[in-house]
Amino acid sequence: MLRSIQRLRRHALEIMDAAISAVAPESAVKRNLRLKKNILCAGEHELDITRFRRIVVVGAGKASAAMARAVEHELGDRISDGLVVVKYGHSVDLKKVRIKEAGHPVPDIEGLKGAEEVLSMLDGCGEGDLVISLISGGGSALLPMPANGISLEEKQKVSRILLACGADIHEMNAVRKHLSKTKGGLLARAAYPATVVNLMLSDVVGDDIDVIASGPFVPDRSTFADALKVIERYNIEQDMPEVVIKHLEMGTDGAIEETPGLGDPVFDRVVNMVIASNITACRAALEKAKDMGYNTLVLSSMIEGNTVDVAGVHVAIAREIIRSSMPVEAPACIISGGETTVVVRGDGLGGRNQEFALYSAGLISGLEDDVVIASLGTDGTDGPTDAAGGIVDPLTESRGRKRGLDLNHYLDTNDSYHYLSTTGDLVKTGPTLTNVMDIHLVLVASGSYLK
């Protein structure tokens, strides 16, 4: 069994690698932004670049530096100026576009400086300018310019509270948009009347463009009232800084201008394009698994919910394959993607993918069949750790017991990182420079397949 499990684990990592490679930001940009003589083709849109006085590149997110490299390859010296804000350790070599590294997921002073500079660059743009915006997951935290009267420290506290309470990305961004000068279409307002081509790597379920990095160039569908409802829903009003609640209440009452929404003229010259998303990665994983001989099924690229609940469903599917060869027979590869949430109860170290893996390990412990379950963040960083996620099998819990570890204790304290590190089940890829949420794999193989 040990040899067959080891082979299954190798297969899972190869499938994950194919999924992540398919959403490499440079490839995604090159598929969607091409210069043919003096015509810049952005998807189905064509722009004569001789009409523009300047081309300015701005962006934010874990993938924005790699995206900028592809734009430089295409436009070269035609770029007049540029700045992208990335998470620490996510820089690449660029010639025309400057890089600012900053904090994520909790914003810091470097992000504030970067946001101020991006906003200043856009304020200086006019009708004769072309702005190319490069937005990816993490962009919201990396452009932390608080609204008037709110400090960066208070904004940081809001981010920590929202992360800890289990709010999903849509809810978090509804709040963050209304505490900011850069989100919820406000960068489009700053750039107007310049022409904007906004290229996005989606890290949100359903690819809602107003949620990706809090939609800095996209009409905002949320309101101040929606932001207040999120705080009420999770009963966290007493934890929030008083000035934040007051700001949201003033906006709800109309004392502060609402973020620009559908129909606002600031979006008349904005082209918004999603150039890669989770389903892109899932499809690549499917093709790789098929090539390796697996009967393969993609459940969904829009998986949400509590991490342990979602993990339990995936384990149930593995057991169904073993029992009845449904929904596909072994050798089977079940693929899903999306973004789950973790309710923090303890003070351990981990992330949603590591918790997914650890909870799964407990459910499959002792199975005599060949099963491997893996969960990885496509950005290579799961939570505040240096791991992308975890990969587990029916022997994971026994490896832990031999080292004196109680799996349930580590789940109760949200300390999946240290458990999986001890058992050799962490997956560390380093920063992948892309981000399209998470990929989950369930591999079930018959003994004959693995011989």
Superfamily of domain 26-145+180-222+259-276: Glycerate kinase, MOFRL-like N-terminal domain (3.40.50.10180)
- Plot region of 148 (φ>0 → left; ψ -120 to 50 → alpha; else → beta): beta
- The answer regarding whether domain 2-18+279-450 maps to CATH 3.40.1480.10 reads yes
**Spatial separation of the C-alpha atoms in residues 37 and 324, rounded to whole Å:** 59
Residue 251 has a pLDDT of 97
CA distance 131 to 112: 21
- Bridge partners of 47? 40
Distance CA 75, CA 329 (A): 49
What whole-number distance in Å separates Cα of residue 426 and Cα of residue 423?
A: 8
Provide CB contacts within 8 A for 49, sequence distance 6+: 35, 38, 39, 40, 55, 78, 130
Residue type, 99: I
* Class of residue 14 by CB neighbours under 10 A (exposed 0-12, middle 13-18, buried 19+): middle
Residue ranges per domain, the chain?
A: 2-18+279-450, 26-145+180-222+259-276
Neighbour tally for 4: CB within 10 Å: 18
Find out whether 143 and 181 touch, Cβ atoms under 8 Å.
no
Task: Give yes or no for a contact between 107 and 152, defined as CB atoms under 8 angstroms apart.
Answer: yes
CA dist., res. 16 & res. 384, Å (int): 21
Sign of CA dihedral 289, 290, 296, 302: positive
pTM score: 0.85
Residue 343: per-residue pLDDT: 81
pLDDT of the residue at 170 = 82
pLDDT at 1: 64
The Cα–Cα gap between 422 and 67 comes to 36
Residue 28: Cβ-neighbour burial (10 angstroms; 0-12, 13-18, 19+):
buried
Omega cis (within 30) before 193: yes
Query: pLDDT, tens digit, for every residue of 268-299?
Result: 999 999 999 999 999 999 999 999 999 999 99
Helix axes 169-177, 152-165, angle to 10 degrees: 160
Low-confidence ranges of the chain (pLDDT < 50): 447-451
Residue with structure tokens 């849509």? 170
What pLDDT shows up at residue 451?
A: 41
